[in-house]
Amino acid sequence: MNRPELVCPAGTPAMLRAAADAGADAIYCGFQNATNARNFAGLNFTPNQLQDAVAYAHARGAKVLLAINSFATAGRYDLWQKAADCGAACGVDAFIVADIGVAAYIAERHAGRRLHLSVQAAASSPEAINFYCREFGVRRAVLPRILTLAEIHQLKTEIDCEIETFIFGNHGLMVEGRCSLTNYAVGISTNMDGACSPASEVHYDRNTAGVVTARLGSHVIDRFAPTEQAGYPTICKGRYCTSPRDEPYYAFEEPISLNLMEMLPALIGAGVDALKIEGRQRSRAYVSSVVTSFRRAIDAVVAGRKPELVDLVALTEGQKQTQGAFATKKWR
């Protein structure tokens, strides 16, 4: 049985150290600008921090993957080029990209460096993935969270690169890299500015009855009764009043997290090369807990033992978890 890489998130240098110490094989991170899809306030790395982080990770046998996975826009393409050059100078092991211009630039200027195809590219067919492999030398594709295990198994036999799948965190059912909901609401693009529901546009108000109203820009996207769990303030996970329903409901998707711990033996058996934990915007506590749990579980599966299933529901969005489309297309 192959031993897949455990790929873990880091939004800060301390998170990266926590991930490396907890047993991550690879850690992904981004710079403090629009070149990555978690361009959130107070998050991410400066070039100097990245350089130190690479040294820390390498000393512990872990790789560092640099996410340059937003889409470069006309007039500021140099920002993405500089991010790639800087990442190469810092010694990152691979770049995670979505934009074909960025992929072409790295393939040409930093030919020895691995290229991974971001989930932001939303490539889910053998034809699409093989195009990236052929044209840019992509070595690994991060699959959208819309494929069943059987489809992943089949895909593995039809593509020319490694497969990485998400195993924990954001459920992410939107066609990633194509979602314009935040842009529509507040004029900031998830895909080109790297910020989905930026905190500067999110507001919570609590009334005297304890009901909390969540707004993105001027749009009310949810209301939580005092005893209801909450989710991220994103439009896709809001509740809306739409005909013919009388009550507000989750019109797009529910606040719920993906958790594939029980499915690890099947995923590894299907030949998945890397298993990814989502959550650069979270914390050291999240990374330590989730990475430690999955490290033990993966090691157990690879050693032929039954993995201990750790309860991670306290860390999930909305305090709910699912196997999503990996188990069935009828997950809802």
Q: Given candidates 12, 36, 165, 234, which one binds another protein under the rule CB under 8 A?
A: 12
Q: Does 273 bind another protein (CB under 8 A)?
A: no
Q: Given candidates 1, 2, 3, 14, which one binds another protein under the rule CB under 8 A?
A: 14
Angle in degrees, 0-180, between the axes of helices 47-59 and 77-90, rounded to the nearest 10: 40
Task: For CA atoms 256, 262, 268, 274, give the dihedral sign.
Answer: positive
Q: Contact at 8 Å (CB) between 6 and 292? A: no
Minimum distance of another protein from residue 228's CB (angstroms): 7
Q: Does 60 bind another protein (CB under 8 A)?
A: no
Q: Does 309 bind another protein (CB under 8 A)?
A: no
Binding mask 224-263 for another protein (x = CB under 8 A): x-xxxxxxx----------------------x--------
Q: How many residues bind another protein (CB under 8 A)?
A: 43
At residue 84, the 3 state secondary structure works out as: helix
Place of tokens 């195809």: 117
Residue 86 has phi, psi (to 5 degrees) of: -65, -40
Q: What is the DSSP letter of 192?
A: T
**CA angle (56 as vertex; 55, 58 as ends), nearest 5:** 65
Span near another protein by CB under 8 A; candidates 68-76, 241-249, 298-306, 315-323: 315-323
Q: Does 184 bind another protein (CB under 8 A)?
A: no
Span near another protein by CB under 8 A; candidates 95-103, 106-114, 145-153, 317-325: 317-325
How would you class 207 by CB atoms within 10 Å of its CB: exposed for 0-12, middle for 13-18, buried for 19 or more?
Answer: exposed
Binding stretches for another protein (CB under 8 A): 11-15, 17, 40-43, 46, 198-200, 202-206, 210, 212, 224, 226-232, 255, 281-286, 289, 314-319
